[in-house]
Amino acid sequence: MRVSSIAVAVALLCATPSYGADVKTMLAAPRQRIEMADYRAIGHLVRVQANGIRISYPITIKAHWFPGVLRVYMELGTGSKTGTNPVSSFFHLPAHILLEMRPNGRNVVQIAHPGDANPVILPFDKWSDGPLGAGFSYEDFLEAQYFWPGQTPQDKAMFGARDCDVVKSTPGAVDKTHYTEVTNWLDHDIGFPVYVEKTLKGGTVKEFTYFGLRQNGGVWSAHQVEAKIRGQAGSTLLIIDRGTPKANLSLNDFSSAQLTHF
């Protein structure tokens, strides 16, 4: 299995006249992808610093949709520069993280580090950060925007060579999020995102570009996702090396015992 990003220099967004698409139809594929999630993926979360130096952190992700809730479990290890021995980091790693996304907005993030007897519930004000900083925040792994009550179709657009359905999503009063809106460019044929813009409450825009889209076992995913904060140098990459699209996961794979076992 692969997860998301695009190895092209610059993608052009060319708006065309509105075509009156049904937003419910446009969101059917991404919602179904989440509600049928049952995958295991192994790869790296890479911090690309402003000077171009890359520090790579091994990551394992497990995700499964249970009735009414998506659970995402992540194991993140210590970092290393390419071609060098492991290096220390100011990030508190290794860490195990459990994220729960409910369409009713009642989301939960738990985190554990070596030596913890029990996982700790992460306060909401920390959700806009992430294991490597703000590039990939904790809530970015949940894709809750597809279930928000405010869904508005935008003008059809091209992103690179892909014909896209564009949807602007806005949260409701009960949705726990640091974003005021999220705009998704979804490939018209497969309903998978190729580009996403997320606007934080302070006005900062984060850009996510998806590369290497492919289908495995009937499941669409991408090889790499690049997250950039508009106006800032550097980025964060989520790179998936291998995985299983149908992993037959159970509740035991997301237990507190799993979180605190290092």
pLDDT digits (tens, 9 = 90+) for 249-261: 999 999 999 999 9
Q: Radius of gyration of the chain from Cα atoms?
A: 18
Residue 133 belongs to some domain of the structure: yes
How many structural domains compose the chain?
1
Residue type for 97, please?
I
pLDDT higher than 80, residue 26? yes
Residues 6+ apart with CB under 8 A from 252: 258
pLDDT higher than 60, residue 95? yes
Model confidence pLDDT, tens digit, residues 153-209: 999 999 999 999 999 999 999 999 999 999 999 999 999 999 999 999 999 999 999
pLDDT higher than 60, residue 3? no
CA–CA dist 133, 110 (Å, integer): 17
pLDDT in the model for residue 80: 65
Residue 182's alpha-carbon distances to 35, 37, 136, 196, 240, in angstroms, are: 20, 21, 14, 7, 24
- Asked whether the beta carbons of 86 and 80 are under 8 A apart, the reply is yes
Residue 231 belongs to some domain of the structure: yes
Q: Grade residue 12 by pLDDT with cuts at 50, 70 and 90.
A: very low
CA–CA dist 35, 61 (Å, integer): 16
pTM above 0.75, yes or no: yes
pLDDT higher than 70, residue 59? yes
Which segments of the chain does DSSP mark as H helices, in order? 23-35, 256-260
Average pLDDT across the chain, whole number: 88
Residue 57 belongs to some domain of the structure: yes
Residue 2 belongs to some domain of the structure: no
Residue 5 belongs to some domain of the structure: no
Please state whether beta strands 157-159 and 162-170 pair in parallel, antiparallel, or not at all (unpaired): antiparallel
Domain that holds residue 58: 13-260
Residue 223 belongs to some domain of the structure: yes
The C-alpha torsion from 65 through 69 and 70 to 71, rounded to 10°, is -100
Tokens of 103: 């369409």
Q: Grade residue 224 by pLDDT with cuts at 50, 70 and 90.
A: very high
CA–CA dist 98, 260 (Å, integer): 11
The Cβ of residue 163 has, within 10 Å, a number of other Cβ atoms equal to: 12
pLDDT higher than 80, residue 90? no
Q: Grade residue 111 by pLDDT with cuts at 50, 70 and 90.
A: very high
pLDDT higher than 50, residue 39? yes
pLDDT in the model for residue 82: 53
DSSP for residue 142: T
Residue 8 belongs to some domain of the structure: no
Residue type for 231, please?
G
Tokens of 32: 């179904």
- Asked whether the beta carbons of 34 and 193 are under 8 A apart, the reply is no
Average pLDDT over residues 18-36: 84
Residue 4 belongs to some domain of the structure: no
pLDDT in the model for residue 8: 28
Q: Grade residue 17 by pLDDT with cuts at 50, 70 and 90.
A: very low
Q: Grade residue 78 by pLDDT with cuts at 50, 70 and 90.
A: confident
Containing 22, the helix (H) or strand (E) segment is none
Per-position b or e across 17-56, b if 16+ CB within 10 A of its CB: eeeeeeeeebbebbeebbeebbbbbebbbbbbeeeeebbb
CATH assignment at residue 66: 2.50.20.10
